[in-house]
Structure 1
């Protein structure tokens, strides 16, 4: 008998380890939201636009408390220069959960080609918290140059890169995706 999506997600949540690079699909897999699992049901991630407003968080804001969809103690719902600490459920926003496997995924060949190594779980978590408190991403979010995947890979390896951005740039799809997301392309 095949496990339903919710049961699968709950099983994966129970297996998460500190320092895991996790992601969750958005817009039916058109792109993925990335973050670092730091333990105790918390994820640190770089956030884009505030849900439902279409506006981006101000890079001049140091710490703010946006509204998040839950009231779990693990969910602090605070952000610092676009970097957010939330619970896993708020990170997922109702979508599936995946763990990036740096040894078995397409990322491994990229890492090898660029001589990049993966940090220990404690180093990953320490870096995620350090970046949160240092407000490293004070310039906010940028789809191609400073997105959630850049943040997660930086915490995991010390090098900032986004496979999604590399693909978009290589395929010349970035501007089309931007207008599609804004709803300005008519089919």
Structure 2
């Protein structure tokens, strides 16, 4: 149960195939990705200056899931990722963008799921780590479509990598919602 309430983990606890996330803008939203090993994360991002696609005030508030400090020197591992969008690979530090590291939980009992904050866990079961990494690498090569905060976002990407199925509901906010 402790993992459902606090999913924070240390970098040395990561395993290939883990669905990880980091909170942005004072816990307003989280950026999700798949840890693939060797300090690398594959994630789905919206490039800076591009509309989020909601047609609401969210477009102005959440301007990007890419790194927030494009004026800083480029990462010696990733290079300049300030204009990157789509499915990208980056080092763990660039993915975290100064935030803390959290592990998304799979197979959580529905009793605890009702109490957890959205975007931190699911009752869905994860496929094998090898399948998860394979899907993430496939999307890195072939894309995941056009980013939309409500319909196809970084959490949807990570859930699809973990389970092989994107979540659709008639009453949710976005597919992962």
TM-score normalised per structure 1:
0.63
Number of equivalent positions: 137
CA distance in 2, matches of 1:35, 1:82: 12
1:127 to 114, 129, 135: 135
Larger Rg: 1
CA distance in 2, matches of 1:162, 1:27: 27
CA RMSD of aligned residues (A): 3.0
| Greater percentage in helix | 1
Deviation at 1:15, TM superposition (A): 1.0
CA deviation digits over 1:71-102, x for unaligned, max 9?
Answer: 343x3667986111111111111111101121
2:32 to 34, 38, 47: 34
Indicate the structure whose relative CO is greater, using CA pairs within 8 Å and at least 6 residues apart: 2
- Gapped runs of 5+ residues in structure 1? 1-8, 58-66, 112-116, 170-187
User: Which residue number corresponds to residue 147 of structure 2?
Assistant: 141
* Cα distance change, pair 80–71 in 1 and its aligned pair in 2 (3 A): closer
Indicate if the aligned counterparts of 1:33 and 1:149 stay in contact, CA closer than 8 A.
yes
Indicate if the aligned counterparts of 2:47 and 2:86 stay in contact, CA closer than 8 A.
no
Indicate if the aligned counterparts of 1:22 and 1:37 stay in contact, CA closer than 8 A.
yes
* Cα distance change, pair 161–28 in 1 and its aligned pair in 2 (3 A): farther
Indicate if the aligned counterparts of 1:77 and 1:85 stay in contact, CA closer than 8 A.
no
TM-score normalised per structure 2:
0.66
Which stretches of structure 1, 4 residues or more, deviate above 3 A after TM superposition?
67-70, 76-81
Indicate if the aligned counterparts of 1:24 and 1:95 stay in contact, CA closer than 8 A.
yes
Deviation at 1:103, TM superposition (A): 2.9
User: Which residue number corresponds to residue 43 of structure 1?
Assistant: 41
